[in-house]
C-alpha cells in the first residue's frame, strides 16, 4: 500500500512508530504525505509539530500547531504542545496562558502542570510556580519527585538529588528512572562510579528493554575505559531499538575509542541515515575517517556538520587539527565573524580561536596566529582545573620512592613478559612518529594511548585504612604483588590486541613518571623517551587544543614548570635505571631516519626491517593529533618552528636556558 493510500489510523500509527524509533524526519514525511490529501487533520498537524520540535525546527513546529488549534481550539493536548514549543523558544510569558487553558480543559495532564511551573518560575512568579509543581507531584508522585531530583542534579545540587532518588528507591527498589538518575549522580565522582555501575546493571535487569538504561551503562563503562563492555551495552541498545539514532551514534563512538574504525564508520553512517540532522554524528564520522587516512571523507563530514551548525567551533578546530589542511578564505572569514558574537559559548569561542591560530599560521602571519593561540589558551585555562604544585609534588614523590636502592633491592620481581614497548615524553615531541615506525615492524603491534599504568598506580593502596597510597604504598608490596600487577596490565591490554605479534606499543607520553613502576611490574619491557627542542615542544603543546586532559598546556608558566619536572624525572630514570630508557630526538629522526630507526629497533631487540623506513605507508588507524603527519614521508619543515614565534617566547627561553644549553648542537641548530 502506498503512503498516500494509508488510512488516517494507519498513517498516525506509522508516524508514531517513527517518532518512537527516533526518526523525526521519517515521521515528518509520513505526516506531510497524509496532509497533502487531507490538510485539515489536526492529529497529523500535531504529530508534524512533534517531529519538527525533535529536529529543533521550532518556528515551523509552532506554525503547524497553531494551524491545528485553529481547527480544534479546545484540544487540551494541542494547547499544551503550543505552550511547550513557546517555552522551548524561551517565550515563557506567552506560553503560560496555553498551559493554563489546557489544564482548565483537562486537569489530569500531569506534565502540563510541571511545564506551567517551569514557565512561571522563569518569569519570576515563584509562589504560583510552587503551586503548579505541587499539583504535578500530587498527580504523579514518583515522576514529580524524579523531576525535582533531576532538576537538582542539573543545577549541581548533587546531595539533594541523591536524597530524593534514594528515598524513591527505598519505597520501590525497582524504579528504573530513579536507578538511572541516582547512577548519574554517582557517575560524577570516580570514587562512586562502581556504585553507579551496580545501579545501572540493576536497571537493565529490572527492565531489559529499557534503552536509556543500556545507553547510560554504556556511557559509564566507556568513561571507565571498559571499552568492550561499553560496546556490548550499545550493541544491546540498537538491537532493542534499531531505529534509535542516538544508540547508533554512541556505538560509533565506542567502536572508535576501542580502535575498530571500520565498525565505527558503519555505525555513524547508520545513525546519520536515521537522522541526518545531528552535527555531532557528522563530526564523529569525520574523526574516524581522519584516523584511517580518509582526509577527503573527513573534510566532507566536517563541512556537513558546519552546514548543520555554523557556530560549531569544535568542527573548525577538527579541520585545523588535520595539520596538513588549509582553510579557504571564506572559512577564515566565517570564523572571524563567529568570535565577534556575544552569544557564543566559551567552548565554541575557544575552538574557533585555536582554529584561527592555525589559519593565520598557514598564512605566515605569526603575530596574528600567536594572538589567537594565546587568547584561546587563556580562555581555556580559565575553564579547567589544574594544580601545578600538586602534580609536581606527586612526580617528585615518585622519584623519591623509586630510587636506586628501592629498584635495586627488588631486581627480578614482576611479570617477566617482554611484550610492552612504552613510549613516553612530552606530548607533541614525536611519539606518534616513533610509534608508527615500530608498528611498521612485523613483530610489533601498534595499539593506542593506553591508560592502564595510571589505573594500576591509582589502585595501589586504594583500600588501605591508613591513607597511604601510591607511590608510598609501593614500599609494602610483596614480590607476588608486583607480578600480579604486571599480569593485570597485560590482561587490560588484551582488548587492544588484534594480532599475535609478540610485542606491542603503549604510547602515552604522560606515562613518563611511571617508568619505575613499569620496571617493577614488567622488568623486561622496553622504554623509549621521545624528545624535541624544548621550545618546539612547548610551542607545539601551546598550539594544540586537546580533547581532554593535558591541562598543563594552556598556560605558559604551567608548561615551563611541567617541562622542567619532566626533564628532571627522565634524568632520574637514567641515573637509577641505566640503559632502561632510550632517548630519541625528533630532530635526529628527521635528519637521519635510518640511523635512528636502527637505534630504536636495536634497543627493542628487533632486527632491522625496511618497512620501518616506509612507516607512512602503514594503513593502521592513528588517533592522535599527528595522524595526518605520520602518513607523509619524513620532512624537515617542522624543525625549528619556534623561531617563527621567537619574539613571543622570551619567558620560556629564560626558564629553560640551562636545559637548552645542554642540548646537542645539531638539535639546537635544527631548522636554521
Can you tell me the distance from the alpha carbon of 351 to that of 346, in angstroms, rounded to the nearest whole number?
9
pLDDT at residue 88, as a whole number: 87
Closest CA to 217 of 244, 179, 252: 179
pLDDT category of residue 240 using cuts at 50, 70 and 90: confident
| pLDDT at site 226 | 87
Cell matching residue 182? 541516582
Q: How confident is the model at residue 620 (pLDDT cuts 50, 70, 90)?
A: low
Q: What sign does the CA torsion over 440, 444, 448, 454 have?
A: negative
Per-residue 3-state assignment (H helix, E strand, C coil) for 158-171: HHHHHHHHHHHHHH
Angle of helix 110-122 relative to helix 76-88, nearest 10 degrees, comes to 30
> In this structure, is residue 173 part of a structural domain?
no
Beta-ladder partners of 581: 527
Domain range for residue 508?
Answer: 414-668
Confidence band, pLDDT 50/70/90 cuts, at residue 637: confident
- CATH assignment of the domain containing 605: 3.40.50.300
pLDDT value at 165 more than 80:
yes
Q: What is the pLDDT of residues 592-613, one digit of tens each?
A: 999 999 999 999 999 999 999 9
- Could you give the CA distance from residue 71 to residue 51 in angstroms, rounded to a whole number? 19
- C-alpha cell at position 100: 493554563
Distances (CA, A) of 261 to 11, 198, 274, 280, 286: 39, 30, 20, 17, 11
Confidence of residue 115 (pLDDT cuts 50, 70, 90): very high
The residue among 635 and 597 whose pLDDT is bigger is 597
CA distances from 239 to 274, 386, 602 (A): 15, 41, 49
Instruction: Tell whether the model's pLDDT for residue 550 goes beyond 60.
Output: yes
Beta bridge partners of 530: 425, 584
Residue closest to 81 by CA, chosen among 131, 120, 43: 43
Are residues 180 and 203 in contact, defined by beta-carbon separation less than 8 angstroms? yes
- Model confidence pLDDT, tens digit, residues 348-402: 999 999 999 999 999 999 999 999 999 999 999 999 999 999 999 999 999 999 9
Q: What angle do CA 7, 12, 16 make, to 5 degrees?
A: 150
User: 448 vs 437, which has greater pLDDT?
Assistant: 437
- The answer to whether 95 and 131 are in contact (CB under 8 A) is no
Asked if 251 contacts 284 with a C-beta cutoff of 8 angstroms, the reply is no
Q: Please state the length of the chain.
A: 672
Residue 150 lies in a domain: no
The reply to whether 124 falls in a domain is no
Region 101-123 average pLDDT: 91
Domain assignment of residue 447, yes or no: yes
The Cα-based distances of 461 to 60, 410, 474, 476 in angstroms read 59, 19, 8, 9
Residue 18: predicted pLDDT: 87
Other C-beta atoms closer than 10 Å to the C-beta of 483 total: 17
The C-alpha torsion from 397 through 398 and 399 to 402, rounded to 10°, is: 130
**pLDDT at position 629 over 70:** no
CB neighbour class for 478 (10 Å; exposed up to 12, middle 13-18, buried from 19): exposed
| pLDDT attached to residue 359 | 97
pLDDT band of residue 23 (cuts 50, 70, 90) is confident
Cα separation, 520 vs 479, in Å, equals: 9
Do the domain assignments include residue 261? no
- Within-domain flag for 534: yes
How many structural domains are present in the chain? 1
pLDDT of residue 621: 53
Q: Which has more confidence, 278 or 620?
A: 278
Distances (CA, A) of 200 to 146, 207, 210, 218: 16, 10, 11, 9
How many C-beta atoms lie closer than 10 Å to residue 625's C-beta? 19
Ramachandran quadrant class, 508 (left: phi over 0; alpha: psi -120 to 50; beta: rest): beta
Round to whole Å and give the CA distance between 256 and 621: 10
On the question of pLDDT at 633 being above 70, the answer is: no
Tens digits of residue pLDDT in 474-512? 999 999 999 999 999 999 999 888 899 999 999 999 999
Residue 108 in grid coordinates: 489530569
Spell out the alpha helix ranges (H) of 506-616.
Answer: 515-521, 534-542, 556-576, 586-591, 593-603
Is the overall model pTM greater than 0.85, yes or no? no
CB of 505 closer than 8 Å to CB of 443:
no
Q: What burial class does residue 613 get, using C-beta atoms within 10 Å of its C-beta: 0-12 exposed, 13-18 middle, 19+ buried?
A: middle
Closest CA to 471 of 450, 453, 486, 492: 453
Phi, psi of 17 (to 5 degrees): -60, -40
> Over 50: is that where the pLDDT of 531 sits?
yes
Task: Quote the pLDDT of residue 337.
Answer: 94
Domain membership of residue 114 (yes or no) is: no
Mean pLDDT calculated for residue range 147-175: 89
pLDDT value, residue 626: 47
- Please count the other Cβ atoms lying within 10 Å of the Cβ belonging to residue 576: 19
pLDDT digits (tens, 9 = 90+) for 43-94: 999 999 999 988 878 899 999 999 999 999 999 999 999 999 999 888 999 9
The crossing angle, in degrees rounded to 10, of helices 556-576 and 534-542 is 130
What's CA 350's distance to the chain center, in Å?
Answer: 16
- Is 243 contained in some domain? no
Residue 85: how many CB atoms within 10 A of its CB? 25
Query: From the CB of residue 73, how many other CB atoms can be counted at a distance below 10 Å?
Result: 10
Amino acid at each position: 500500500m502506498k503512503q498516500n493510500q494509508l488510512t488516517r489510523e494507519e498513517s498516525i500509527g506509522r508516524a508514531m512508530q517513527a517518532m518512537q524509533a527516533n526518526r523525526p524526519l521519517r515521521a515528518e514525511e509520513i505526516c506531510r504525505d497524509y496532509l497533502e490529501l487531507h490538510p485539515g487533520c489536526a492529529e497529523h498537524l500535531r504529530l508534524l509539530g512533534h517531529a519538527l520540535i525533535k529536529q529543533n525546527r521550532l518556528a515551523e513546529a509552532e506554525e503547524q500547531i497553531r494551524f491545528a488549534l485553529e481547527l480544534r481550539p479546545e484540544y487540551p493536548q494541542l494547547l499544551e504542545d503550543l505552550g511547550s514549543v513557546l517555552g522551548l523558544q524561551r517565550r515563557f510569558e506567552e506560553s503560560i496562558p496555553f498551559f493554563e487553558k489546557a489544564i482548565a480543559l483537562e486537569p489530569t495532564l500531569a506534565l502540563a502542570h510541571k511545564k506551567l511551573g517551569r514557565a512561571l518560575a522563569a518569569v519570576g512568579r515563584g509562589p504560583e510556580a510552587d503551586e503548579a509543581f505541587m499539583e504535578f507531584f500530587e498527580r504523579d508522585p514518583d515522576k514529580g519527585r524524579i523531576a525535582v531530583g533531576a532538576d537538582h542534579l542539573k543545577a549541581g545540587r548533587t546531595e539533594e538529588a541523591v536524597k530524593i532518588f534514594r528515598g524513591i528507591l527505598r519505597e520501590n527498589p525497582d524504579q528504573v528512572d530513579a536507578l538511572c538518575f541516582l547512577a548519574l549522580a554517582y557517575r560524577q565522582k570516580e570514587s562512586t562510579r562502581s556504585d553507579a555501575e551496580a545501579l545501572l546493571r540493576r536497571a537493565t535487569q529490572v527492565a531489559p528493554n529499557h534503552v536509556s538504561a543500556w545507553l547510560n551503562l554504556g556511557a559509564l563503562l566507556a568513561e571507565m575505559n571498559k571499552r568492550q563492555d561499553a560496546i556490548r551495552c550499545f550493541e544491546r541498545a540498537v538491537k532493542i531499538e534499531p531505529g534509535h539514532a542516538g544508540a547508533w551514534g554512541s556505538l560509533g563512538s565506542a567502536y572508535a575509542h576501542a580502535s575498530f574504525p571500520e565498525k565505527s564508520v558503519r555505525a555513524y553512517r547508520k545513525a546519520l541515515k536515521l537522522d541526518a540532522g545531528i552535527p555531532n554524528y557528522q563530526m564523529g564520522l569525520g574523526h574516524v575517517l581522519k584516523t584511517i587516512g580518509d582526509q577527503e571523507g573527513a573534510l566532507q563530514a566536517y563541512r556537513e556538520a558546519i552546514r548543520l551548525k555554523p557556530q560549531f567551533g569544535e568542527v573548525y578546530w577538527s579541520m585545523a587539527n588535520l595539520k596538513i589542511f588549509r582553510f579557504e578564505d571564506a572559512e577564515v572569514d566565517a570564523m572571524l565573524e563567529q568570535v565577534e558574537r556575544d552569544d557564543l559559548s566559551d567552548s565554541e569561542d575557544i575552538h574557533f580561536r585555536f582554529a584561527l591560530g592555525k589559519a593565520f599560521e598557514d598564512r605566515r602571519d605569526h603575530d596574528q596566529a600567536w594572538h589567537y593561540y594565546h587568547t584561546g589558551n587563556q580562555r581555556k585555562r580559565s575553564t579547567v582545573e589544574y594544580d601545578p604544585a600538586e602534580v609536581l609534588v606527586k612526580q617528585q614523590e615518585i622519584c623519591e620512592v623509586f630510587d636506586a636502592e628501592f629498584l635495586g633491592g627488588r631486581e627480578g620481581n614482576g611479570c617477566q613478559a617482554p611484550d610492552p614497548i612504552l613510549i613516553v615524553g612530552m606530548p607533541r615531541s614525536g611519539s606518534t612518529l616513533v610509534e608508527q615506525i615500530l608498528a611498521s615492524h612485523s613483530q610489533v603491534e601498534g595499539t593506542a594511548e593506553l591508560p592502564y599504568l595510571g589505573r594500576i598506580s591509582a589502585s595501589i593502596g586504594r583500600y588501605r585504612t591508613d591513607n597511604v597510597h601510591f607511590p608510598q604504598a609501593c614500599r609494602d608490596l610483596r614480590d607476588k604483588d608486583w607480578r600480579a600487577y604486571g599480569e593485570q596490565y597485560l590482561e587490560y591490554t588484551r582488548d587492544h590486541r588484534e594480532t599475535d605479534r609478540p610485542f606491542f606499543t603503549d604510547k602515552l607520553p604522560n606515562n613518563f613518571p611511571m617508568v619505575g613502576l613499569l620496571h617493577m611490574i614488567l622488568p623486561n619491557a622496553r622504554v623509549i623517551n621521545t624528545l624535541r627542542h624544548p621550545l618546539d615542544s612547548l610551542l607545539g603543546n601551546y598550539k594544540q587544543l586537546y580533547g581532554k586532559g593535558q591541562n598543563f598546556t594552556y598556560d605558559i608558566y604551567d608548561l615551563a614548570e611541567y617541562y622542567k619536572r619532566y626533564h628532571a624525572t627522565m634524568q632520574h630514570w637514567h641515573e637509577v635505571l641505566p640503559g632502561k630508557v632510550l632517548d630519541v630526538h625528533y630532530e635526529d629522526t628527521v635528519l637521519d631516519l635510518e640511523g635512528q630507526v636502527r637505534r630504536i629497533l636495536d634497543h627493542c631487540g628487533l632486527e632491522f626491517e625496511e618497512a620501518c623506513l616506509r612507516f607512512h605507508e602503514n594503513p593502521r588507524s592513528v588517533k592522535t593529533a599527528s595522524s595526518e603527519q605520520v602518513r607523509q614521508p619524513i620532512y624537515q619543515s617542522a624543525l625549528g618552528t619556534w623561531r617563527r614565534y621567537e619574539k613571543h617566547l622570551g619567558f620560556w627561553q629564560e626558564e629553560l636556558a640551562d636545559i637548552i644549553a645542554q642540548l646537542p648542537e645539531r638539535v639546537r641548530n635544527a631548522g636554521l
